Each structure stands twice: as C-alpha cells, then as structure tokens.
C-alpha cells in the first residue's frame, strides 16, 4: 500500500472521499480552482528558481522573472478549470498575476535561503515490517551548513488559520526515516506576507503522528468491504463528488427546509476575463 500525505489527509477529512478518489469515481463535478492559482504559480516559479537559476548562479532580472512567470501563468490557465464569475472571485486574472509577480520580487529581496534549497524534493520510503510505502514531496528542503529546514509554501493570506501542522510532521517523518535524524526546523512560508512561521515539534510529536498514521493505514487496509463512512464537514464544499453523496444531499435538504444554506446576495466587483 502506498500512502501520501494527501491520501492520509483525504481519509481524515472523509473516508468516502478517500475511497472515491482512489477508485477514480467518474461522476465528479469540476471544482473551480480559482483559490489555488496564486499559490501554484508562485510555487512553480520558486521551484525552477532554486533548482536551476540559483544553483547555476544565474541572476534573473525583473523582466526575465516577469516573462517566465507570464509563460507559466498562461500555461496554467489553459489547464485549470476556473469559474471567474463566481461571486467570491474578487480578483481578476490580471490582479492575481500582478500580485504573484510583486510578491515573488518581495520574497526574493527578503530571504537568502535559496542557495541552500532544493524544491519539490520527493521521498518514497518502504516500511520494513509492512512493506507499505510512504511517499511525499516537500516544497523546499533547505540544507544550511549547520541545520536542515523543511518549508511548505502557502498561497493564503490567512496566516494563522489555514495551516495543517500534520503535513509538516509527515515530511519530518519521511526525512527521519531516510536520514535517521529529524530536520531542525519545520515551517510554513507564506508568499503573500513574506514570512516563515516555524512550528514547535520534537521527537515525541513525530512519534505520536507516526502512530496515528499507522492507525489510519490499518483502518484503510481493513476496510475490505469498501463501504467507507462519511464525514460531513466544511470540506464537503470542495468535494468533487458532493452531488453524488447521499449524506451531503440529505444534509443540504435538511438545511434547505430549515431555511439555511440559501445563497447570499452577490457581493464583489466584476472581474475581467482572460490572461
Ligand atoms: S460530500 Fe462530504 S461526506 Fe460526501 S463524500 Fe464528499 S467529503 Fe465525504
């Protein structure tokens, strides 16, 4: 069995979501990826920025950064499904692109860890006893001369609320299983605010997380009948199978009868289309 952080996280959010994703249940609805655009394009830029340009000692001008970013952006918009006239889309494509470009420049000015970094570092570890595979890709592995840090890039402006510590525990565990030592620091790098928030952890934290992971792994493995439980939560809103899910539809119907869940009046400015 192969477990990535994203499959673990899916299972924790809702076992049925995990199951449907694993079997590739076809009747998924497309979920607009508006909120992921900024983070994805900034992350992609920094991936080749550290892995190629900084490694090779090439200093990019602002014009070059703009040009490369624009190419990435246009390519990404061709691939992604985005509903630009959703009421919560407050920024146009141009707004997001310009914000990403400016923030990249600010982050490059502010930080100096790039020369010690590698981006999108993949580890796949085969566990001795079970032969299961733990697999993950770290956004940034920073090998300073005197310490090692693992950083996860975040595109959100909500610095305090949108963080998932377990994601970093997962990477720390992978790092430990590979190197027999823990990284010195784990942190979230917030592109929009140009800050890195380090989290507290020690060996006990990682061991506790490892035990939890083992329980989840066993629970998935033992679910032979593939009749996973549902777990209704705010994550249902982004579930591609929500309109196939009887539990979600029943909850929606109950809310409707109670007069809840009625769409709020539209707010926000009109956005422009196109790249
Ligand atoms: S809609 Fe919610 S409860 Fe139903 S499968 Fe998706 S995440 Fe699970």
Q: Is 207 in the pocket of ligand 1 (CB under 6 A)?
A: no
pLDDT at 169: 97
pLDDT at 269: 44
pLDDT at 76: 94
pLDDT digits 0-9 by tens, 2-16: 999 999 999 998 988
pLDDT at 260: 66
Q: Is 248 in the pocket of ligand 1 (CB under 6 A)?
A: yes
Report how far ligand 1's centroid is from the alpha carbon of 133 (Å): 26
pLDDT digits 0-9 by tens, 225-263: 566 778 899 889 888 888 888 889 999 888 888 876 544
Q: Is 247 in the pocket of ligand 1 (CB under 6 A)?
A: yes
pLDDT at 255: 85
The helix/strand/coil state of 245 is coil
CB-based contact 253:74 (threshold 8 Å):
no
Q: Whose CA is nearest to atom 2 of ligand 1?
A: 236
As to burial, measured by CB atoms within 10 angstroms (0-12 exposed, 13-18 middle, 19+ buried), residue 180 is: exposed
Q: Is 150 in the pocket of ligand 1 (CB under 6 A)?
A: no
Q: What does the alpha-carbon distance between residue 157 and residue 163 come to, in Å, rounded to a whole number?
A: 11
CB-based contact 185:146 (threshold 8 Å):
no
User: Probe ligand 1: pick from 232, 240, 244, max atoms within 8 Å of CB?
Assistant: 232
Closest CA to 120 of 136, 103, 132: 136
Residues of the chain short of pLDDT 50, as ranges, are 262-275
Write out the two tokens for 61.
Answer: 């001008």
pLDDT at 161: 65
Closest CA to 49 of 118, 111, 99: 118
Alpha helices in 111-243 (DSSP H): 165-179, 203-222
User: Probe ligand 1: pick from 234, 245, 252, max atoms within 8 Å of CB?
Assistant: 245
pLDDT at 225: 58
Q: Is 50 in the pocket of ligand 1 (CB under 6 A)?
A: no
pTM of the model as a whole: 0.84
Question: How many whole angstroms from its chain centre is CA 129?
Answer: 30
Q: Is 230 in the pocket of ligand 1 (CB under 6 A)?
A: yes
Sequence-distant (≥ 6) Cβ neighbours of residue 148 within 8 angstroms: 141, 142, 175, 183, 184, 185
Report how far ligand 1's centroid is from the alpha carbon of 15 (Å): 8
Q: What does the alpha-carbon distance between residue 245 and residue 203 come to, in Å, rounded to a whole number?
A: 40
Alpha helices in 80-164 (DSSP H): 93-110
Closest CA to 13 of 186, 159, 164, 156: 164
Report how far ligand 1's centroid is from the alpha carbon of 239 (Å): 6
Q: What is the dihedral of CA 10, 77, 86, 33, to 10 degrees?
A: 10
CB-based contact 43:139 (threshold 8 Å):
yes
- Tell me the CA end-to-end span of the chain in Å, nearest whole number: 41
Side-chain half-sphere exposure of 98, counting CA atoms within 13 A: 5
In CATH, what is the architecture of 115-222? Alpha-Beta Complex (3.90)
Q: Is 250 in the pocket of ligand 1 (CB under 6 A)?
A: no
Report how far ligand 1's centroid is from the alpha carbon of 212 (Å): 22
Side-chain half-sphere exposure of 9, counting CA atoms within 13 A: 13
CB-based contact 134:65 (threshold 8 Å):
no
């Amino acid at each position: 069995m192969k477990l990535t952080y994203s499959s673990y996280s899916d299972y924790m959010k809702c076992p049925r979501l995990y199951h449907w994703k694993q079997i590739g249940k076809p009747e998924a609805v497309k979920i607009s990826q508006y909120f992921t655009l900024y983070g994805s394009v900034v992350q992609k830029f920094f991936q080749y920025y550290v892995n190629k340009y900084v490694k090779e000692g090439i200093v990019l001008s602002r014009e070059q950064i703009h040009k490369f970013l624009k190419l990435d952006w246009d390519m990404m918009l061709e691939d992604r499904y985005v509903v630009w006239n959703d009421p919560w889309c407050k920024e146009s494509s141009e707004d997001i692109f310009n914000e990403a470009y400016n923030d990249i420049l600010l982050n490059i000015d502010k930080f100096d860890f790039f020369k010690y970094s590698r981006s999108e570092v993949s580890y796949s570890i085969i566990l001795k006893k079970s032969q299961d595979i733990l697999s993950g890709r770290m956004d940034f592995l920073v090998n300073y001369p005197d310490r090692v840090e693992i950083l996860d890039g975040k595109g959100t402006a909500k610095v305090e609320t949108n963080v998932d510590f377990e994601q970093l525990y997962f990477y720390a565990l992978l790092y430990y299983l590979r190197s027999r030592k823990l990284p010195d620091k784990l942190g979230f790098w917030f592109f929009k605010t140009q800050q890195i928030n380090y989290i507290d952890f020690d060996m006990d934290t990682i061991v506790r997380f490892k035990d939890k992971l083992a329980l989840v792994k066993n629970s998935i493995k033992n679910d032979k009948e593939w009749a996973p439980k549902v777990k209704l939560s705010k994550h249902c809103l982004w579930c591609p199978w929500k309109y196939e899910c009887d539990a979600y539809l029943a909850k929606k119907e109950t809310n409707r009868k109670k007069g809840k869940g009625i769409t709020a009046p539209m707010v926000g400015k009109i956005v422009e289309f196109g790249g």
